[in-house]
Amino acid sequence: MTKSKERSREDRKIADLAREYLELGYEVYAQAHGFERPSPVAGTTPDLVVKKGSQTVIIEVESKGTAVARSDAIAELSQYAKTTPNVRFDLVMTNPRPSTTPSLKPGVSSRHIEQAVTRALFEEINIALREERADLATLLEATALRALLLRAGATRELRLDSRSDLRALADALMKRKVISKPVSELAASLQSYRNALAHNRPPPSLEEVKGILRKLESLNTVWR
């Protein structure tokens, strides 16, 4: 599916959800025609924010492809909901493949959301490796590790600055004894590789990138 078709499907879903919540008596803010746009939350503007009484629900509508591209924003919104009273975060997938990404319904736990996004990232990393795109795989691995570090912090109910780079996030978690030195070193390595790629320097070897993926998969299992 092309990006324009994915976006069109997402826009229709946003509008449908906005109308449904409005009919249920919610105050609705949505990125859809006829609705007031939501205010930014945790540095990003959600697709929908609905309110009823003291309860607030933040909703992101994504396809498999856009969920990978927006994994940082999804992680930030999820962490915000976890650490803010009376706030829930829902991720709604418009076109998940049954064999890969599970369908996520409103009300699903933030942990399931994060795991689904991480699995999607791992799939994209494997695709990049099959295409021998060590550069793309490395950038995706950096994004995956960021999501994992934020998850590790959230399990301890820590408020982390999700705008920090990988090394800073790892340092903050190391100080609180949430992660080990090898994980901190992995974060430092991926941050260095990412910076190098930004300056058009060669990526690490495919074998090294594969080794990093194995470490990330292990962390994903341990931090579930």
Higher per-residue pLDDT: 100 or 115: 115
How many distinct helices (H) and strands (E) make up the chain?
8, 4
How far apart CA 162 and CA 146 sit, in angstroms, is 8
For the segment 37-86, what is each residue's pLDDT rounded down to a tens digit? 999 998 889 999 999 999 999 998 887 667 667 777 887 887 788 788 99
The model's pLDDT over 108-153, given as tens digits with 9 standing for 90+, comes to: 455 666 777 788 888 888 988 998 989 888 988 988 898 888 888 8
Q: What are the structural domain ranges in the chain?
A: 1-108, 122-224
Cross-strand partners of 175: none
The angle subtended at Cα 40 by Cα 34 and Cα 41, nearest 5°, is 125
Topology classification of domain 1-108: Trna Endonuclease; Chain: A, domain 1 (3.40.1350)
Listing from the earlier edge strand, what are the strands of the sheet with 87-93?
27-30, 48-52, 55-62, 87-93
Q: Are 63 and 19 in contact (CB under 8 A)?
A: no
pTM of the model: 0.59
